[in-house]
Amino acid sequence: MAERNTISTKDYEEFSRLLENECGIVLGENKQYLVTSRLNHVLKDNKMDSLGSLIAELNKDTSRKLINRIIEAMTTNETSWFRDIHPFNTLKERLLPELAKGRRTPVRIWSAACSSGQEPYSISMLVHEFIASNPGLLNVDVQILATDISPAILLSAEKGRYDDMAMARGLSPDRKKKFFRETPNYWQINPAISSRIQFRPLNLLQSYNLLGKFDIIFCRNVLIYFSTESKKQILEKMCNILNPGGHIFLGGSESITGITDKLNMVRTNGGVVYQLKP
């Protein structure tokens, strides 16, 4: 599948439909080059020579191994520590102090497309620092659920091991020293930070009924790839599992305009957070 024109219109359309149904990602028109480059190694590993044969094989893929490989190849896992910083400042300066007041049940935070783990670990580091600098203020556990559609990326997130390149993106020397142990080959996150986090696979297109309720949801840099209809359904489901007054963070280029009227936009110091309407 080295050439763009080796993908027929029929195969491209069928593949686009399949990808959207499986994970919400909308390819749009004329992205044959993207499909070609992203799927090249999947085809090679499975000894196939065209998108058509891959689609045919998918129909027999009861183990879902092949579809998972395809989703992994087609999704973007770009992430970094304390990405965009504003959500983390808002969490520390506004949301955690509010949640701490008279709280008797665990505070629950969901990182809804956590990629290789930098987002949930950043949240946990911040919670750790908040507790350390405000002794006695937050008297309940903080539980973080971290989910992603990709079992492979989740496995690497759960290991909590990062190379120098990943460590260099958004982590201060102080946090690196405080929250990681250096080994000859990688940096290992400390159990004090990882123990607050539960990792599990979840496709955002599926039901959230078994997740329980949350105070805060981080759903950042994933809805950008979805159709308006999928965004509506996802935000509707998220609103249904937010505690009263709960908050949602979206990515810097994402918004709720034309998507839901259940959330109020709250401007914070340099950023935006969405709060469930009363």
Ligand X SMILES: C[S@@+](CC[C@H](N)C(=O)[O-])C[C@H]1O[C@@H](n2cnc3c(N)ncnc32)[C@H](O)[C@@H]1O
Instruction: Say if CB 127 and CB 196 are below 8 A apart.
Output: yes
83 binds ligand X (CB under 6 A): yes
259 binds ligand X (CB under 6 A): no
74 binds ligand X (CB under 6 A): no
Strand order in the sheet with 271-276: 197-201, 142-148, 107-111, 214-219, 242-250, 271-276, 263-268
90 binds ligand X (CB under 6 A): no
Pairing verdict, β 271-276 and 180-182:
unpaired
127 binds ligand X (CB under 6 A): no
H/E element, 189: strand 187-189
Nearest CB to ligand X, comparing residues 72 and 131? 72
Stretch that binds ligand X, among 48-56, 77-85, 136-144, 181-189 (CB under 6 A): 77-85
Residues numbered 221 to 240 that lie near ligand X (CB under 6 A) are: 221-222
Q: Rounded to an integer, what distance in angstroms lies between the CA atom of residue 5 and that of residue 15?
A: 15
Stretch that binds ligand X, among 4-12, 34-42, 48-56, 142-150 (CB under 6 A): 142-150
Stretch that binds ligand X, among 54-62, 160-168, 177-185, 197-205 (CB under 6 A): 197-205
Q: Rounded to an integer, what distance in angstroms lies between the CA atom of residue 176 and that of residue 199?
A: 22
**Least distance in Å: CB of 273 to ligand X?**
14
**Binding string, residues 17-56; x marks residues near ligand X by CB under 6 A:** ------xx--------------------------------
For the record, the structure tokens of 168 come out as 């260099």
Instruction: Say if CB 274 and CB 251 are below 8 A apart.
Output: no
70 binds ligand X (CB under 6 A): no
124 binds ligand X (CB under 6 A): no
**Burial label, 97 (beta-carbon count in 10 A; 0-12, 13-18, 19+):** middle
Nearest CB to ligand X, comparing residues 143 and 203? 203
Instruction: Say if CB 208 and CB 237 are below 8 A apart.
Output: yes
67 binds ligand X (CB under 6 A): no
**What residues line the site for ligand X (CB under 6 A)?**
23-24, 75-79, 83, 113, 115, 119, 148-150, 153, 203-205, 220-222, 251
